[in-house]
Amino acid sequence: MKKKGRMLVIDDEPSMQEVLKKLLNDDGYEVAVASSGKEGLHKLEQSGYDLVICDVMMPDMNGLQTLEEIKRLAPEQMVIMITAYGSVEDAVSSIKSGAFDYITRPYKNEAVLNAVQRAVRQRSLIEENINLRNILKKYRFENMVGKNKKMQDMFKLTLQVAPSKSTVLIEGESGTGKELVATAIHQNSPRASKSFVVVNCGTVPADLLESNLFGHVKGAFTGAISSKKGLFEIADGGSIFFDEIGNINLETQAKLLRVIQEKKFMRLGGVDNIQVDVRIIAATNKKLKEIMERGEFREDLFYRLNVINIPLPPLRERKDDIPLLVSHFLQKYCEENKKKLCNITPEAMAYLESYHWPGNVRELQNIIERAVVLATTDIIGKELLPDYIINPAVSLNFPVQFPSNSLSFKEMVHEFERKLILNSLKMANGVQKKAAELLKINPTTFSEMLKRLNIANK
C-alpha cells in the first residue's frame, strides 16, 4: 500500500519516539526518527520529508533552535512542534518561527493525527502550486501564458508573422488577449524600438477618430487653432493597432483603405500628401465577415486587413490553460499587493475549471485579483471566489430553432421538457431524487417524465 507521507520525528526520549512512530505507522505514514536536533538536520539534508515533528524540550540544540535552522535551510518545510503543558511562550515562538502548528503535551492521539493530516494536506497543496509554477515557466510567451495546442500554434504564428510588414487581423471574443497579441507582434518586429500606437475605434466618435488618425491643419474646423499631427504620423516607423475595427464607419473605412494601399494620406483640411511607413494590426471581437456581409464593412478593406488572420479561442475552449493562468495571476497580484505568494486549493481550482468564462481571461484575472486582495492567509479557498462561480445559474437556451417549420407546438414543448430534465440530472450528478427537487416536482412525477420523454438515466 502506498504510504500517506514520510515523517521525521525529532525527540531525545526513545519512549516518546516509539509512541509517535507507532501511532503514525498505524495510520499509514512512513516514519524516521532522530534523537537530537543535529541528527534531525542531518537526516533532512539526506532526504526529503513531508513533515517534521519536533519536541521543544531537548538538550544541546533545543527544539526552537532546530526549527529555526530547518526553516533557514528549507523555508517550505512543514514542521509541527510538541510543546510542554502550559508553555504558551514556546507555542507562540514556534508559530512565529514558521511552524505549521504545535501540539501540547500530554496529547490525545486524535489531536496528533488531525494536525498531521492537515499538515500533509497543506504540504501537497503547496507542492501542487509549486509544480504549477514550474510548468508555467515553460509556457510563457511575452506577457501571455498558454499551453493549449491552439495557443501554442498561435504563439508560433505570431512569431512567424511579426518580422514582416503584413497586415494582421486578430479575431476573438472580449477578454481573450487580442491586445496582448498585437503588442507581441510589435515587440517581435524590427519596429520594436519605434512607437506602438493603440487606436480604440469602439469609443471615439467618427469625426474625432478621423482627426485623431490623420491630424489636421490650422483652421480645418472650428477650434483647430493650430495644426496637429495625427496618430499615423506618430506611428511612423512603428505599428498602429486598430482595436474593435468593426466599429468604424464606412467613410473612415474608405480613408483607411487609401492609407493601406497608397501609404499616404492628408491631414484634415490639408492639401499635401503625407507619406508614412506604418505596420497595421487590427482586432475585432465581432465576426468581421458577418458585418461585411451585412454591407457595414467594406469588402476590399476586409481583405486588406485579413492578410494574416490570428484567431484567439475563447477560454472555455482551452480550459486546460486555466490552472496555469490562475498560477500566473496569483503571482502577479501577490507581488502587486506585496503579499506572501498565495496557493490555491484543489477545490477552488476545480470550480474555476468548471466555469464557462463568458468574459474570458479578463474575467478570470479579475476574480484572482479579488481573491488575493480579500485573502487573510496565503491559501485561496473556494470561499474567496464569487458566488456565481460556486453556484453557476444554468441558463436554458431554447433547445430548438424558433420559429420552426417542421416542429409542432407540442414537439417544441417536448424538447424543452427534455432539456430541463437532462440539465437537472446533470446538476444532480444523476441522482433522480435531487434532480426532482431542483425542478420542484415530486420524485414519482419525475420518474414518469423520464419514461414519457424516453430519457435513460445512467
Ligand X SMILES: Nc1ncnc2c1ncn2[C@@H]1O[C@H](COP(=O)(O)OP(=O)(O)OP(=O)(O)O)[C@@H](O)[C@H]1O
Please identify, using beta-carbon distances, which residue of 310 and 361 lies nearer to ligand X: 361
* Distance of closest approach, residue 163 Cβ to Mg ion, in angstroms: 23
Stretch of residues binding ligand X (CB under 6 A), selected from 92-100, 131-139, 155-163, 174-182: 174-182
Please identify, using beta-carbon distances, which residue of 289 and 332 lies nearer to ligand X: 332
Interacting positions 165-194 with Mg ion (CB under 5 A): 179
In order of 264, 432, 437, the CA distances from 444 in angstroms are 75, 10, 11
Stretch of residues binding ligand X (CB under 6 A), selected from 117-125, 130-138, 167-175, 266-274: 167-175
Q: Is 246 in the site for ligand X (CB under 6 A)?
A: no
Residue indicated by cell numbers 505568494: 341
Residue 205 phi/psi, 5-degree rounding, is -60, 150
Q: Which of 37, 40, 175, 215 binds ligand X (CB under 6 A)?
A: 175
* Distance of closest approach, residue 169 Cβ to ligand X, in angstroms: 13
Q: How many residues sit in the footprint of ligand X (CB under 6 A)?
A: 17
How far apart CA 220 and CA 214 sit, in angstroms, is: 12
Q: Is 63 in the site for ligand X (CB under 6 A)?
A: no
Q: Is 245 in the site for ligand X (CB under 6 A)?
A: no
How far apart CA 284 and CA 291 sit, in angstroms, is: 11
* Distance of closest approach, residue 364 Cβ to ligand X, in angstroms: 8
* Distance of closest approach, residue 298 Cβ to Mg ion, in angstroms: 22
Residue 119 C-alpha from the chain's centroid: 27
How far apart CA 418 and CA 356 sit, in angstroms, is: 22
Q: Which of 129, 176, 253, 424 binds ligand X (CB under 6 A)?
A: 176
* Distance of closest approach, residue 281 Cβ to Mg ion, in angstroms: 12
Please identify, using beta-carbon distances, which residue of 123 and 178 lies nearer to ligand X: 178
In order of 256, 301, 374, the CA distances from 264 in angstroms are 10, 16, 52
Residue indicated by cell numbers 502506498: 2
Cis peptide preceding 14, ω within 30 of 0: no
Please identify, using beta-carbon distances, which residue of 66 and 365 lies nearer to ligand X: 365
Residue indicated by cell numbers 504563439: 155
Please identify, using beta-carbon distances, which residue of 33 and 364 lies nearer to ligand X: 364
Show contacts of 206-211: CB within 8 Å, 24+ apart.
206/248, 206/249, 206/251, 206/252, 209/248, 209/252, 210/252, 210/255, 210/268, 211/268
Calculate helix-pair angle for 178-187, 149-161, nearest 10 degrees. Answer: 40
Name 31's bridge partners. 7
Please identify, using beta-carbon distances, which residue of 109 and 188 lies nearer to ligand X: 188
Q: Is 172 in the site for ligand X (CB under 6 A)?
A: yes
Q: Is 145 in the site for ligand X (CB under 6 A)?
A: yes
Sequence-ordered alpha helix ranges (H) in 337-359:
346-354
Write the CB contacts of 299 (distance below 8 Å, at least 6 apart in sequence): 292
Please identify, using beta-carbon distances, which residue of 13 and 335 lies nearer to ligand X: 335
| Terminal CA-CA length for the chain | 32
Q: Which of 285, 327, 343, 424 binds ligand X (CB under 6 A)?
A: 285
Q: Which of 6, 339, 362, 414 binds ligand X (CB under 6 A)?
A: 362
Please identify, using beta-carbon distances, which residue of 40 and 175 lies nearer to Mg ion: 175
* Distance of closest approach, residue 319 Cβ to ligand X, in angstroms: 13
Please identify, using beta-carbon distances, which residue of 70 and 184 lies nearer to ligand X: 184
Q: Is 177 in the site for ligand X (CB under 6 A)?
A: yes
Positive or negative torsion for Cα 445, 449, 451, 456? negative
Q: Is 118 in the site for ligand X (CB under 6 A)?
A: no
Q: Which of 97, 109, 174, 249 binds ligand X (CB under 6 A)?
A: 174
In order of 26, 166, 239, the CA distances from 193 in angstroms are 66, 18, 10
Binding site for ligand X (CB under 6 A): 144-146, 172, 174-180, 285, 325, 328, 361-362, 365
Binding site for Mg ion (CB under 5 A): 179
